[in-house]
Amino acid sequence: MRNLMLAWLITSSLVVLAKSSSANDQLSQFSENPANSVMPTGNCANHRHS
């Protein structure tokens, strides 16, 4: 029973890590495009260039 629980824990941890790395790849692709900025000003300094 203990070995089964350990195997399940390791497997579930690997699945979570695989999914999070996939999400990070997508976020880095989105962050490369300035049109996908989360901040209204586009940068952390809050500069509004016109």
First to last CA, the chain: 65
pLDDT by residue for the chain (50 residues), tens only, comes to 888 999 999 888 888 766 665 566 777 777 777 777 766 676 677 776 66
CA–CA distances in Å: residue 6 to residues 9, 18, 26: 5, 18, 31
pLDDT of the residue at 15: 80
Amino acid at the residue 27: L
pLDDT of the residue at 13: 85
The Cα–Cα gap between 49 and 41 comes to 9
Q: What is this structure's pTM?
A: 0.39
